[in-house]
Amino acid sequence: MPVISTPHAFNESQLYVDLRSIFGRSLYLKCEGFNFAGSIKVKAANEMVETAEREGVLRPDSILVESSSGNLGVALSTIAASKGYRFLCVTDSRCNLSTRLLMEALGSEVHVISELDANAGFLGARLDYVRALCASDDRYVWLSQYTNPGNWRAHFRTTAPEIASYFPGLDVLFVGAGTTGTLMGCARYFRTWHRPVRIVAVDSVGSVAFGGAPGRRMIPGLGMSMRPPLLDESFVDEVIRVEEAETIRTCHRMARRGFLFGGSTGTVVSGAMEWLGRHDIPGITAVAVAPDLGERYLDTIYQTNWLHDLYGEHVLDDQVPVGGHQAQTTPDAPDTPDAPPHSRSH
């Protein structure tokens, strides 16, 4: 049994759920929600904070500030509380109430943006607010999860090697795309591994991360209203986009079997199952990253009135056919200095 003195010192990294009994296809789901921050974001948060400390960016009187739809805000709240920093999270009206209350319980200040930017949506409005804060007072330190290389380095150092150690025969890895920190860290790691691994990014319909038309997105976590600065598509073999209604159905299907996962996880699993069903490769070893658990979605994804108001009263009908996915194969890109050659398994 580990004995710890800081909350970010503990993270269960060895738990996988085989989803075959639920979906009829084997998919090993790496569960990243069993830590004091409740999501995979604790890895990136810790990496970015400790790098800022080493580089002398953070001082005792510093005030951490970050734009987050939820999970990174909780992770930074946890770490800031343990290290004695003040933290201000800039979020928007889509952030779950339970997530906002949790950040406040940890001593953080939460500012909710209620009006979106005409061109860049809620994210653009959040970033404008953060920039204005930093310009007004030099005590504010913005880690900028959207551009900070520590975001992907955390997963290059931890998440990907953890998967590699348990699945030496890995064939395909499914990773959700938000800031693309997890995606880029894992993809860079497996690019130079001993065998080719197909990297499939899972995004939400309405996100413009990989191009396409913007649309309404009500479930926080995955998806972006701008192209992620960390994204390098040369590391990604394929992109699957999932409709939010399908995310919801997948979450409820797992919950009916006792596994309560969050919206990001439901999106990744939905996309992975669609891909596996379309390819149907015997003996394939497939792993998906589950970023979070479901308790923070009790007032949204698992709340009947919320679902019916936004997606219609039949959103959970079992008779609704599985669909809402769009597959996109990313064309091979010329190799760059930070993108070594890779043998893809098309």
CATH number at residue 211: 3.40.50.1100
**Position 292: which residue type?**
D
Residue 342: closest CA among 213, 199, 220: 199
Same domain, 102 and 75: yes
Residue 141: closest CA among 72, 61, 41, 43: 61
Describe the strand order of the beta sheet including 325-329 as a list of residue ranges.
16-18, 28-31, 286-290, 172-176, 198-204, 238-242, 325-329
Whether the Cβ atoms of residue 241 and residue 214 lie closer than 8 Å to each other: no
Dihedrals phi, psi of 47, to nearest 5 degrees = -60, -45
pLDDT at 120: 58
Same domain, 119 and 153: no
Mean pLDDT over residues 265-294, rounded? Answer: 96
Q: Are strands 28-31 and 238-242 parallel, antiparallel or unpaired?
A: unpaired
pLDDT higher than 90, residue 330: no
pLDDT at 114: 84
For residue 70, tell me if it sits in a domain.
yes
Write the pLDDT tens digit of every residue in 29-56.
Answer: 999 999 999 999 999 999 999 999 999 9
pLDDT higher than 50, residue 320: no
For residue 186, tell me if it sits in a domain.
yes
Residue 275: closest CA among 216, 329, 344: 329
Same domain, 20 and 78: no
Same domain, 27 and 96: no
Write the pLDDT tens digit of every residue in 119-177.
Answer: 657 788 899 999 999 999 999 999 999 999 999 999 999 999 999 999 999 999 999 99
Per the structure, the complete domain to which residue 75 belongs is given by: 41-142
93, 112, 142: which is the final residue of a domain?
142
pLDDT at 116: 67
**Geometric angle at alpha carbon 79, from 78 and 84, rounded to 5°:** 105
> Is 235 or 113 the better-scoring residue by pLDDT?
235
Residue 36 CB coordination number (10 Å): 19
Same domain, 177 and 267: yes
Mean pLDDT over residues 233-259, rounded? Answer: 97
How many domains does the structure of the chain reveal? Answer: 2
> Is 72 or 342 the better-scoring residue by pLDDT?
72
pLDDT at 235: 98
Same domain, 136 and 161: no
pLDDT at 344: 35
Same domain, 206 and 282: yes
Same domain, 122 and 25: no
pLDDT at 21: 96
142, 161, 187: which is the final residue of a domain?
142
For residue 344, tell me if it sits in a domain.
no
- How far is CA 161 from each of CA 31, 38, 152, 156, rounded to the nearest angstrom? 15, 21, 13, 7
Q: Ramachandran region of residue 312, left (φ > 0), alpha (ψ -120 to 50) or beta?
A: left
pLDDT at 95: 85
Residue 139: closest CA among 88, 100, 91: 88
Rounded percentage of the chain residues whose pLDDT exceeds 70? 90
pLDDT at 212: 81
Same domain, 158 and 90: no
Chain mean pLDDT for the chain: 89
Q: How confident is the model at residue 261 (pLDDT cuts 50, 70, 90)?
A: very high
For the chain, what is the HEC assignment? CCCCCCHHHCECCCCEEECHHHHCCCCEEEECCCECCCECHHHHHHHHHHHHHHCCCCCCCCEEEEECCCHHHHHHHHHHHHHCCEEEEEEECCCCHHHHHHHHHCCCEEEEECCCECCCHHHHHHHHHHHHHHHHCCCEEECCCCCCCHHHHHHHHCHHHHHHHHCCCCCEEEEECCCCHHHHHHHHHHHCCCCCCEEEEEEECCCCECECCCCCCCCCCCCCCCCCCCCCHHHCCEEEEECHHHHHHHHHHHHCCCCCECHHHHHHHHHHHHHHHHHCCCCCCEEEEECEECHHHCCCCCCHHHHHHHHCCCCCCCCCCCCCEEEEECCCCCCECCECCCCCCC
For residue 334, tell me if it sits in a domain.
no
pLDDT at 178: 93
Same domain, 25 and 115: no
Whether the Cβ atoms of residue 73 and residue 88 lie closer than 8 Å to each other: no
96, 125, 142: which is the final residue of a domain?
142
For residue 319, tell me if it sits in a domain.
yes
Write the pLDDT tens digit of every residue in 71-109.
Answer: 999 999 999 999 999 999 999 887 888 899 999 999 999
Instruction: Record the tokens describing residue 255, joined without a space.
Output: 């919950």
Same domain, 45 and 31: no
Q: Are strands 109-113 and 28-31 parallel, antiparallel or unpaired?
A: unpaired
Same domain, 21 and 160: yes
Q: Are strands 325-329 and 238-242 parallel, antiparallel or unpaired?
A: antiparallel
Whether the Cβ atoms of residue 269 and residue 155 lie closer than 8 Å to each other: no
For residue 345, tell me if it sits in a domain.
no
pLDDT higher than 80, residue 327: no
pLDDT higher than 60, residue 199: yes
- How far is CA 264 from each of CA 21, 56, 129, 218, 292, rounded to the nearest angstrom? 21, 34, 25, 12, 7
